[in-house]
Amino acid sequence: MHARRGSGPIHLLVVLSLLAASAGMLLPAVQKARAANDRVRCAENLGRIGKALHEHETARGSLPKSSYFPNSYWQETTHGGPYVRLLPYLGHEELARKYDLTKDYFDPANAAVVATRVPVFNCPAAPQGLVSGDDWPSAKRYRGAVIDFVAPSGNWAKLGPPDDTGGEAALNGSLGRLPKLAMVTDGLSTTVGVVEQAAGTQHWVRGERVDQGRSARSGATLGSGSMWVMTYSADGLTGLNRSSKSVLPCSINCNNEDGIYAFHTGGANALFMDGSVKFLREGLDGYVLFALVSRAGGEVISPNDF
C-alpha cells in the first residue's frame, strides 16, 4: 500500500509531462489548421462578393464604382463606395435602404449603418474592430466597422502602356462612365476586382504593427474604401513615388496603408473579375501586379506569373 502511494505522484508527473509535450507538439498543428481555415473562409467571402458584383451588373446594367464623390468634373452626384451598393445582393436589403447615398459615410445620418459589421466583408484572419476616422483636414470623425477588402481604382504610378498609363482598374468609373465587365478587355480571369487590405483599425508593415496601439490610418467601411495600388521598398516603409519610372520590390503584404495586405502566410487573396479567387504570393513582380490591376492595358499575363 505504501509503495502504491509513493508511486502515484511520480506516475502522475510522468503523465502530465507527456501530456504537456504532446500539447506542445500539437499546438503548432492546430494553429496551422486554423490559419488554413481562415484563409479558406476569407476566400469564400470574396467569392460571395464576386457573385454580388455580377448580380449587380445583371440588375443595374453596370458594376458599382470603386468610389463615389459628388463632383461636377467627374459627373458624379452620390457618395459612398461599392460595398453599400452590393448589400442588396448579399442578403442585406434593409441595411442598404437605411444608407443615405446623398450624404457621405461620415455623416451622422449614416452612422448606424457604417458602424454595422457585415461578416462577408471581413477576413477571419485579420484583427477586427471599429475604424475611428479623422482623415480629412476638417476632422470629419466617424466610427465605422472595418472592412478587410478594397476595390482598386487603378495603379499609383503611370507605368502602363502608352494607351493605358493610368492603369484604370475594373471598378474604376470616371467622367460619368459606369464600369462594366465588357470594359475588362485584358481578360476577366487575369484582372483583379477586389483585394485584401486588412486590419484597417491598425497600421501594419511587413508583419509588424507600427501604430503603438493607436489607429494610424483610415480603413475601409461600408461607405468608403478604394485605393490606388502601391508597391513598396523591401522594408515596406517607402511607397512608390507617383512619378516613378520603375516599381519597388515589395508588392504583397508590405504596408496596409496603400498596399495589398493580408494576415495569411505567404500572400493575399484576390477576387478576379470572372468570380474566381486566387492567392497572390509575396514576392510577386510589381509589373505583374500592375498588369493584373489594369483592366485594359493589353498586357499578356499567364497564371504562372502570379
The answer to whether 105 and 114 are in contact (CB under 8 A) is: yes
Task: Give me the residue label for grid cell 461620415.
Answer: 106
Q: Provide the 8-state DSSP code for 83.
A: H
Residue 64: the pLDDT is 94
- pLDDT of the chain, 306 residues: tens digit per residue: 444 444 567 776 666 666 666 656 666 676 777 888 899 999 999 999 999 999 999 999 999 999 887 666 666 777 888 999 999 999 999 999 999 998 888 888 998 998 899 999 999 999 877 665 544 444 456 678 889 999 999 988 877 676 676 789 999 987 668 899 999 999 999 999 999 999 887 889 999 998 765 554 567 788 887 889 999 999 999 998 877 778 899 999 999 988 999 999 999 999 999 999 999 999 999 999 999 999 998 888 888 888
Length of the chain: 306
Question: How far is Cα of residue 84 from the mean position of the Cα atoms in its chain?
Answer: 15
CA–CA dist 144, 133 (Å, integer): 8
Residue 20: the pLDDT is 61
